[in-house]
């Protein structure tokens, strides 16, 4: 895709003005970093950081039959939601493969907001529209909304500085509508970094106003604008999967180790039969997390994984962890070799480097 065919978020000019390095990502021109991935990463772990997430898609599903239908499209159980609450869930194909991973919020008695991956938005919409009964309303509102993720241990302080001391932060995984200086925003207590945080959605035309205010009020708290580079290192340390790398239409949530977000007791949802079979037969491969045993080159996507001389799988995500200062990654490896504590080798430019399979998450707050 040429750069001119890429979309830009309402905050694009702000990123350029601040000297961010811009890369194409999922059909969008996004900041990968401002000054340094490591500095931005540390800002989120120690203080607070703000990310443009306007590229993410928003689908709205409504009407009387919405909940019942969505429960046949998604793996998690929507009946567990109350108004204002969200859950992590999967949209699967008939083979149980992952089309997308997303968060669904119940935002009204008969109304749901789905926040989906940028690169999958159109595909998700087309898939859902194809399966949609006539009496359910489905809208792709992605072009209307912008959003930011504000993440880090000092998020509560910034939230109160922005919205007032007497306004309560929504509980974990909940979403609330709030007013901010004459504009309407939705604030969800969610994130992709392993830190406390919120994701704030607003109309595209209000994006610059909110972004500017958050950076200004966050100044004394040490806020830093952060790019996709830090977003990737932060999420990988806590082993959150990235669609297109750790998840794909060829992988199901069971082998990805994410069965917790699949309710197989539901009578019917797309992919259920395939998942039941996968569970019964056992997955041939599993998504594991690993840490390099010594300082060395960081693992990267597509590197081969070995157990002694046998090739057992392939890296799907890898980086140098800024918090641990070691190479870390995730890989699909054949199930008999997937046990925690297994010593493996990662092949990097023809040379093998020792690593060990570890429990997820790789990074835990001390």
Partner 1 sequence: MNVPDNLLYAETHEWIRRESDNVRVGITDHAQSELTDVVYVELPKIGRQANAKEAIAVIESVKAASDIYAPVKGTVIEANKALEADPGLINREPYGEGWIFVLKIDNADDLKQLKDAAAYQKQIG
Q: Which is nearer to partner 1, 158 or 348 (CB)?
A: 348
301 binds partner 1 (CB under 8 A): no
DSSP per position, 75-132: SS-GGG--TTBEEEEEEE-TTS-EEEEEEEEEEETTEEEEEE-GGGHHHHHHHHHHH-
* C-beta closer to partner 1: residue 106 or 316: 316
Shortest Cβ distance from residue 245 to partner 1 (Å)? 14
Q: Measured from the CB of residue 327, what is the shortest distance to partner 1 in angstroms?
A: 9
Q: How far is the CB of 322 from partner 1 (least distance, A)?
A: 7
| Pairing mode of beta strands 197-203, 327-334 | unpaired
Span of 29-37, 71-79, 261-269, 281-289 interacting with partner 1 by CB under 8 A: 29-37
CA dist 235 and 193 (Å) reads 5
Residue 282 tokens, joined: 């056992």
CB of 232: closest distance to partner 1 in angstroms?
Answer: 8
Q: Establish if 21 lies at the interface with partner 1 (CB under 8 A).
A: yes
Which of positions 328-347 make contact with partner 1 (CB under 8 A)? Answer: none
Q: How far is the CB of 98 from partner 1 (least distance, A)?
A: 25
Q: Helices 37-46 and 228-237 meet at what angle, rounded to 10?
A: 50
Task: Tell the smallest beta-carbon distance from residue 242 to partner 1 (Å).
Answer: 13
Site for partner 1 in 228-257 (CB under 8 A): 229, 232-233
Which of the ranges 34-42, 141-149, 159-167, 255-263 carries the binding residues for partner 1, by CB under 8 A? 34-42
Q: Is 320 in the site for partner 1 (CB under 8 A)?
A: yes
Q: What dihedral do alpha carbons 267, 270, 274, 280 form, nearest 10°? A: -30
Minimum distance, C-beta of residue 37 to partner 1, in the bound complex (Å): 5
Segment 119-178, which members bind partner 1 (CB under 8 A)? none
Residue 37 binds partner 1 (CB under 8 A): yes
**Dihedral sign computed on CA atoms, order 106, 110, 113, 119:** positive
Using DSSP, state whether 246 is helix, strand or coil. coil
Under the binding rule (CB under 8 A), the answer on residue 42 touching partner 1 is no
**Quick check: helix, strand or coil at residue 158?**
helix
Rounded to whole angstroms, the Cα distance separating 342 from 339 reads 6
Sheet holding 21-25, edge to edge: 7-8, 28-33, 21-25
For residues 34 and 180, which CB has a smaller minimum distance to partner 1 in the complex? 34
Name the pairing type of β-strands 7-8 and 28-33.
Answer: parallel
Question: Please, is 20 exposed, middle or buried when counting C-beta atoms within 10 Å of its C-beta (0-12, 13-18, 19+)?
Answer: buried
Q: Does 222 bind partner 1 (CB under 8 A)?
A: no
Q: Which of residues 266-295 bind partner 1 (CB under 8 A)?
A: 295
Decide: is 89 part of the binding site for partner 1 (CB under 8 A): no
CB of 357 vs partner 1, minimal distance in Å? 22
Interface residues with partner 1 (CB under 8 A) are 21, 32-33, 35-38, 229, 232-233, 295-298, 300, 319-320, 322, 349
């Amino acid at each position: 895709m040429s750069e001119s065919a890429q979309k830009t978020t309402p905050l694009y000019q702000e990123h350029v003005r601040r000297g961010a390095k811009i890369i194409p990502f999922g059909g969008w021109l996004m900041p990968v970093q401002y000054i340094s991935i490591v500095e931005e990463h540390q800002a989120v772990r120690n203080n607070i950081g703000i990310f443009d997430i306007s590229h993410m898609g928003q689908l709205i599903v409504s009407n009387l039959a919405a909940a019942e239908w969505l429960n046949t499209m998604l793996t998690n159980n929507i009946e567990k939601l109350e108004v204002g609450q969200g859950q992590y869930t999967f949209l699967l194909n008939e083979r149980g493969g992952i089309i997308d991973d997303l968060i669904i919020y119940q935002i009204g008695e008969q109304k749901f907001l789905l926040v989906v991956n940028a690169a999958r938005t159109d595909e998700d919409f087309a898939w859902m529209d194809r399966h949609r009964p006539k009496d359910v309303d489905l809208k792709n509102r992605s072009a209307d909304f912008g959003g930011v993720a504000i993440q880090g241990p000092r998020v509560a302080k910034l939230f109160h500085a922005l919205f007032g001391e007497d306004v309560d932060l929504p509980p974990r995984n909940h979403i609330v509508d709030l007013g901010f200086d004459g504009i309407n925003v939705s604030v969800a207590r969610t994130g992709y970094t392993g830190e406390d945080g919120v994701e704030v959605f607003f109309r595209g035309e209000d994006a610059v106003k909110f972004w500017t205010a958050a950076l200004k009020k966050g100044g004394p708290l040490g806020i830093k604008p952060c790019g996709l580079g830090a977003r990737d290192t932060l999420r990988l340390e806590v082993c959150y999967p990235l669609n297109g790398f750790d998840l794909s239409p060829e992988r199901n949530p069971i082998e990805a180790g994410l069965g917790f977000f699949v309710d197989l007791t539901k009578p019917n949802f797309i992919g259920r039969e395939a998942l039941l079979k996968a569970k019964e037969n056992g997955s041939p491969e599993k998504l594991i997390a690993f840490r390099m045993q010594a300082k060395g080159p960081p693992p990267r996507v597509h590197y081969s994984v070995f157990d002694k001389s046998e090739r057992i799988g392939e890296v799907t995500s890898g980086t140098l962890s800024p918090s641990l200062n070691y190479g870390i990654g995730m890989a699909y490896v054949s199930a008999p070799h997937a046990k925690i504590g297994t010593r493996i080798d990662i092949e990097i430019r023809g040379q093998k480097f020792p690593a060990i399979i570890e429990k997820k998450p790789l990074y835990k707050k001390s």
